[in-house]
Chains A and B, each alone.
Chain A
Amino acid sequence: MRPIKNAFFEGSWFWKLLVACFLSSLVLGVISKQIFAQASTPSDDAVNQIASQLYCPTCENITLDDCTTQSCRQMRALIREQLAEGLTEQEIKDYFVAQYGEKVLGEPPARGLNWVLYVLPPLAFLIGMAALVLWLRQKPPDGIEPPPPQNTDDPYLKQVEQDLKKLT
């Protein structure tokens, strides 16, 4: 059987064009994938910005961004992974609270008895200021003796008052 000949498909320019299109789309795909991957990898700053608000659950008073232990490195890697997945800062913090409890938060939420932590320092400051004002108001200025109490029954003073009245 004689093969069907078609000038359109037989033309070498068509096959060259097809191969060129295929190759260029392949190259473009690879490049765009790399660009996209780079863009979706969160920066250290973005990771540390969240890590600085979370405390290491196994250490004392060290935030995740300052902590050098293996567990903190894993937690920072997890933050990076979650950022890459598109989770928001709040969602990541909520996840850490769900996993490790509220103690991981740098700022405990003001609810329950936690509000005492927020109320007590300013309250103590106000009380201290009020005590200082009271003390200053009661204390006489330096170098001035407080006046002695008036004794209205003193006969000498009575005599002086009477003499003064006579004079006027």
Chain B
Amino acid sequence: MSPKSKYTSRSQNNSKAWMILAILGVLVLLTILGIRLFSNESDVLEVGKTPKDFVLTTFSGETINTQDLRGKVVLINFWASWCTTCDEEGELLEAAWRFYQRNNPDQVAFLGVAYADTQPASMAFIENYGLTYPNGPDLQNQISRIYQVGGVPETYILDETGEVTAIKIGTFMSLEEITTVINTALD
């Protein structure tokens, strides 16, 4: 083999090696992206599981950590001012909240989480429907991501240990429906 052909052959081999390296590089980048995507998708949240704790900063500036609510049954309601059925549900939840404030004030906590809403609209909603239980925005979707919220309204009931005892996708239709899920968690 002549020196020229040897040179050409070596240069072609180098090019192929670089090509393989570059393709491997792209594959590594795609793998990193894939791992990142899959790691974001945690297990499906269902009854019996304990979701991560979160901190809710209410519209009135109060900070509530769900870790501090251990020992209480916690109702977490995701709502939005643009949601067409959240208004009726808000009134029912307010009635339930007042009921438990009278009867089990130290055993039940309510948290309202405004999902993908604007603060002025959320605050107007709270004022319109006279909601007195703590409500706050879902900043950067951190809370809805933990609860894997797909839409509003959605409500989760946690027992004294922080375990999910009931999930309501959609609107509560009556006060009884709300008190039943809370009383079941209290028992």
Contact B26 A124 (CB under 8 A): yes
Contact A98 B32 (CB under 8 A): no
| Chain A 104-135 near chain B by CB (<8 Å), digits 1 or 0 | 00000000010010011001101100110010
Number of chain A interface residues as a range: 20 to 34
List the B side residues contacting A120 at CB < 8 Å: 26, 29-30, 33
Contact A78 B140 (CB under 8 A): no
B82 at interface by CB-CB < 8 Å: yes
List the B side residues contacting A101 at CB < 8 Å: 140-141
Contact B82 A74 (CB under 8 A): yes
Which residues in chain A, 47-84, are within 8 Å of chain B measured between CB atoms? 57-58, 69-71, 74-75, 77-78, 81
Minimum distance in angstroms from B81 CB to a CB of chain A: 7
Bound together, the chains give a CA A70 to CA B137 distance in angstroms of: 17
Of the residues A71, A119, A123, contact of B117 by C-beta under 8 Å: A71
A100 at interface by CB-CB < 8 Å: yes
Minimum distance in angstroms from A67 CB to a CB of chain B: 11
Number of inter-chain CB pairs below 8 Å: 66
Across the interface, name the chain A residue whose C-beta is closest to B33.
A116
A159 at interface by CB-CB < 8 Å: no
List the B side residues contacting A98 at CB < 8 Å: 139-140
Of the residues A78, A103, A131, A134, contact of B118 by C-beta under 8 Å: A78
A71/B80 contact (C-beta < 8 A), A78-B118, A98-B139, A124-B26 known: yes
Minimum distance in angstroms from B186 CB to a CB of chain A: 34
Number of chain B interface residues as a range: 20 to 34
A38 at interface by CB-CB < 8 Å: no
Of the residues B19, B117, B121, contact of A127 by C-beta under 8 Å: B19
Contact A113 B22 (CB under 8 A): no
Minimum distance in angstroms from B35 CB to a CB of chain A: 10
Bound together, the chains give a CA A113 to CA B141 distance in angstroms of: 20
Contact A123 B26 (CB under 8 A): yes
Contact A116 B140 (CB under 8 A): no
B61 at interface by CB-CB < 8 Å: no
Across the interface, name the chain A residue whose C-beta is closest to B35.
A113
A74/B33 contact (C-beta < 8 A), A58-B116, A127-B26, A134-B16 known: no
List the B side residues contacting A57 at CB < 8 Å: 116, 141
The CB with the most chain B CB atoms within 10 A, among A71, A116, A130, is that of: A71
Minimum distance in angstroms from A42 CB to a CB of chain B: 16
Bound together, the chains give a CA A33 to CA B100 distance in angstroms of: 51
Of the residues B19, B32, B140, contact of A100 by C-beta under 8 Å: B140
Bound together, the chains give a CA A47 to CA B62 distance in angstroms of: 32
Question: Measuring CB to CB, which residues of chain A are less than 8 angstroms from any residue of chain B?
Answer: 57-58, 69-71, 74-75, 77-78, 81, 97-101, 103, 113, 116, 119-120, 123-124, 126-127, 130-131, 134, 137-138
Please name 6 pairs of A and B residues whose Cβ atoms are closer than 8 Å in the assembled complex, sorted by A.
A74-B82, A97-B140, A100-B140, A100-B141, A101-B141, A116-B29
